[in-house]
Structure 1
Amino acid sequence: MDSGKEAVLTETTAEGITIISINRPHRRNAVDPATAQKLYDAILGFENDPKQKIGILTGVGGTFCAGADLHEVAQMADSSNGQSHLLPFDGHSIGPTGPSRMQIKKPFICAVAGYAVAGGLELSLLGDLRIVEEDAVLGVFCRRWGVPLIDGGTVRLQAIVGLGRALDMILTGRPVGAQEALGMGLATRVVPKGEALGEAIRLAKQLLAFPEYCMNLDRKSCYYSAYDATSFEDAMRQEYNSGVKAVEAESIKGAATFSKGAGRHGSFKLVGKLWKL
């Protein structure tokens, strides 16, 4: 195990953006147990900091994440007589790659460069949005080695791209390029090589301009509908009840902002500035 204290880097900005970077480029940012713990702690710290509004996850050195560190897994196997070191699910909030069992409470963007494969693909699914560089590759590469998806891949991937496309990726393990990922909804935007993080930061700044409470309630309702709703009626009830809170908290002020001239003809210019008046 070679994860020092700098295996995960966290940077915060005064305007409220937290950038979390996996810093193991010598392993293509593969995650060992120590790194998994640090990733979990970093995202939990972002969640618990009221001054930080938007999170970004990226990787250092031109690769997002190559999944679990198989060198570490092999060493475990050599010392365990074939027995798994994995802990039972119940009672443990940290997944094998760290934050995979979290339902992150604030908007979260993944800036994907190079490879996002196996557990790295699963980590990218934590993002509400994925900014993917044009030469990036995503895929369930662990299919080759008999390593299963245990960090949310079978849960989140089908919710994002649909069951049929998810099964294609999961069963074949094949590489998916950026443009195909964009076409299936796995990538939110495709950008030139080297620009994923910059675009993620620009997008985060756009989100910061909007009324926060309303945006987060709508986001929460989307995830409730995708994962928790027991019926269409249940999902609609959750959406309405959350929406009422937003109307009371922000919509009246938002209407006043519109009356001052913001947002006419679909314009987003000055919305944030007028909202804060």
Structure 2
Amino acid sequence: MAESNLVLTDTTSNPGISIISINRPQRKNAVDPATAKKLYEAMLAFEADATQKVCVLTGTGDTFCAGADLHNVAQKTVDSPPAENLQPVNDRNLGPMGPSRLIVQKPVIAAVAGYAVAGGLELSLVADMRVVEEDAIFGVFCRRWGVPLIDGGTVRLQAIVGLGRALDMILTGRPVGAQEALAMGLANRVVPKGQALQQALDIAKQLIAFPELCMNTDRRSAYYSAYEASSFQDAMSQEFNAGVKVVSKEAIAGAAKFSKGSGRHGSFKEFSKL
């Protein structure tokens, strides 16, 4: 497959929503260095485009991503020069799976079908939410082959599901189905087979309808608390200092809408339904 087609980006079908698709179905969307770079570039382009508000990350065919392309890895030797995507962490640089070292600056929703395993699991964790088809499988399948988690799996997974559940998955490598993933907080929605992408798009459309600055500020504060804060007080201070800047820009206008009758009794009527 031509390198230009390894990752597909659609920014026009759904205004404000970028659909980024891994496009190696013949390899179960396993990621080789060229695909990793394309994914990384696509995510940076999404961040930089002010017209794009939410990203949906998915895979073509019947699988989200089966991890790193082990056929490619098997061709390497201990003396092979490190690939561009195998450089040490340096802020937001390219990772082995592409955008794995990013905390993306705008919302990302993963639409997961089939397998999201090994590096594919790690890639799904880059997203804020995971919409999962009922037959989807997560797992650290690379446990069998001595391939470590180097794309945030040990960092993000335990932040999302808790240390005990994360270690169960990390140590055993066992498959985790959609319903178990939902119960542990790894999946946010479970949908019938073939509907993950549409459900992810529906959620993305709802997010676009909300005041953008406020939503992204709260999102950033949550990530700061999870990964960067040195203490409870530090997290609380960051939340307040970031949030108070939004009050004059969006909160006053929102309060005025409420005072005129919008959103009473918890109604989301003016927004699309989740």
TM-score, normalised with respect to structure 1: 0.94
Q: Which runs of 5+ in 1 are unaligned?
A: 273-277
Deviations 1:47-79 (A, max 9, x none): 0000000001000001000000000000123xx
Structure 1 runs of 4+ aligned residues shifted over 4 Å read 80-85
Match of residue 115 from structure 1: 115
Whole-Å separation in 1 of the counterparts to 2:178 and 2:34: 30
Whole-Å separation in 1 of the counterparts to 2:5 and 2:63: 17
Whole-Å separation in 1 of the counterparts to 2:50 and 2:207: 16
Question: Aligned pair 1:257/2:241, yes or no?
Answer: no
Aligned length: 269
Deviations 1:136-169 (A, max 9, x none): 0000000000000000000000000000000000
Match of residue 96 from structure 1: 96
Match of residue 138 from structure 1: 138
TM-score, normalised with respect to structure 2: 0.95
Q: Which runs of 5+ in 2 are unaligned?
A: none
Match of residue 241 from structure 1: 241
Identity %: 70
Whole-Å separation in 2 of the counterparts to 1:223 and 1:3: 36
Q: Say what the alpha-carbon RMSD is for the aligned residues.
A: 1.5
Match of residue 10 from structure 1: 9
Match of residue 48 from structure 2: 48
Secondary structure at 1:67's aligned position in 2?
coil
Residue 84 of structure 1 and its aligned partner are, at CA, apart by 5.8
Asked whether the 8 Å contact 1:21–1:58 carries over to 2, the reply is yes
From the superposition, tell whether residues 255 and 23 of structure 1 become closer, same or farther in structure 2 (CA, over 3 Å): same
Task: Trace 1:13-92 onto structure 2 (pairs within 5 A).
Answer: 13=12, 15-77=15-77, 80-81=78-79, 85=83, 86-90=86-90
Asked whether the 8 Å contact 1:3–1:34 carries over to 2, the reply is no
Secondary structure at 2:135's aligned position in 1?
coil
Question: Aligned pair 1:207/2:207, yes or no?
Answer: yes
Secondary structure at 1:5's aligned position in 2?
helix
Residue 270 of structure 1 and its aligned partner are, at CA, apart by 1.4
Residue 7 of structure 1 and its aligned partner are, at CA, apart by 0.6
